[in-house]
Structure 1
Amino acid sequence: MASKRLVDSNRGNAGDFIGESAVTQSCEPCMKTNISKTATVFCKDCDEYLCDACKNPHTVYKPGQHNIVNSQDSKSSPVILDMKGMDKCHEHGREIEFFCQDHSKLCCVSCVLIHRKCDQLDEIAKISRQIRPDLQAIKQSLIKLQSEADAIIADCKQSETGLNESIAKISSEVDTMKDRIIKLFEEAKQKLIREAKQFKTAEVKRIENKRDASLKVQKELNNVFSMCCAVLDSGTPSQQYIYSELMKEKRKTIESTMDDQKKIKFLSTMTVSFPQQVTSLLEMGSNSIKLNYEGNKTGILFNS
């Protein structure tokens, strides 16, 4: 019969033999990283076998008290194991003492009444001596699964960290691009202003030349006009005739100069134009930047 206090005999040491094969206990932390090293000590408080390399980190970094003994002496002090109700029949609440091979069911004495006609109903106390190799194999598979679970959790943490780092990197890249664009526009603005000032200087020179020529004509017209009035008012017919003939050529010269000045045109305003790429970017607005992620190389658009 199973006892309420069971000695944990599921771990072996280098002195155990199963049939003709010797069982060597491996270091459990090393096995989690798929490394096979023979355990030299055993922590009674943590119920864990350790090699020399893992002993010190175990006592320093793992919380709690650690009663470390030689792995060969791990059986010298029996460990009382609490099965947490696993050794009780869920149906009758009694201790499990039998195993029905026909139904693969653990049974108590009450269950035996139901399974008494089964072909193979074994008493656990008699067959449990041969179960150690299977339990050791289960333990090794659990250690492997635990290592895989740790790797999955680490991968999840790494992925989450990667996402956080990606957000920071994206923000930095966008800020860098924004600064480059601002710098580009500022440089383009300064170039544009220089060109505008150069154009203005050239136009102002043309304006001054036209104004000077017009002022000269205006001054000449004032003089001619005063003389014309004097001859008209006080001149003899002969004087008026002579002046009239002289003024015909003079007037042609003045009119020709005036026509030339009228043909000179100026631009009093300047405007600025932007390439289609810039206006298209502005039309896209906040949709001008796309988010890329693995599996979507062309980019996906997220709108708030």
Structure 2
Amino acid sequence: MATGKLLESNRDNAGDFIGECSVTQSCEPCMKTNVSTTAMFFCNKCNEFLCDACKNPHTVYKTGRHDIVNIQERQSVPVGVDMKGMDICPEHGKELEFFCQDHTKFCCSKCVLIHRKCDQVDEIANASGQERPKIQAFQQSMIKLQSKADAIIADCKQSETGLTESVAKISSEVYKMRDRIVQLFEEAKKKLITDAEQFQRAEVKCFRIKSEASFKIKEEMYKVLPICQAVLEHGTPSQQYIYSKILQDKHNAWESNINEHTNLKMSSTVTVSFPRELSTLLKMGNDFIKLNCDSNNPGIINIA
């Protein structure tokens, strides 16, 4: 089984264990929107492949200096896939050659002896031909999950802004009633603002936890996608088989978390209610103003 010490420049042309070949690169910004476009340029400063449409926006909207060249002008170097040690047995330091279906475990030539009595131990070299479609599916799904993560982050930011703005409007709404309830105004206002800010702090905390969790998932997938692309384009069938098995659990966890965050609704506004019968206002004491909020987050209490 071919592995080798694969070079970090796994985007470039040619290869040491897959033979000399011409590799077609995809535009990386387009890939983030689930669009496959052939890259024509490469930014040496940002280490990013670009198509003709993305070249100018890259220099305009991405900060820093750029050194963009045609792909044909880049020096051809050996290419391969660095599996980051995932195809090496952690116990014996040998290449993984088998997969025990009974224990769902990879084995090298040494640890496979422990599984000699298992019913099904597959040789990776013979069993790894069907994994490429799975990796492609995972790759496409991760791109979509990244888009969902972006939507969650944007939604959290918008919700936080909306909540802050709505809380800021509370004072002006309350002041409209000030002339008629001067005696109780300050006490009621303090109570209301305290409740609103308490609710805001709790909600903002949830926004940020939700946003940070989605951002972390997005970062993890951003690190995985280049390896995924490299395995698809240059990986041996054995590497594709190993990477598919490893990627499956990661993908399921990411998808579960993203869907959970997507379905979790949070309140982004609060309003103030005044009683219709002002004649009973004085009898209500400092509870005459109500803070209306809507939240389905555990641990968040609706103040009414």
| TM range, smaller chain | 0.3 to 0.5
Give the TM-score normalised by the residue count of structure 1: 0.48
Larger Rg: 1 or 2? 1
Give the TM-score normalised by the residue count of structure 2: 0.48
Which one scores higher on RCO, CA 8 angstroms, separation ≥ 6?
Answer: 2
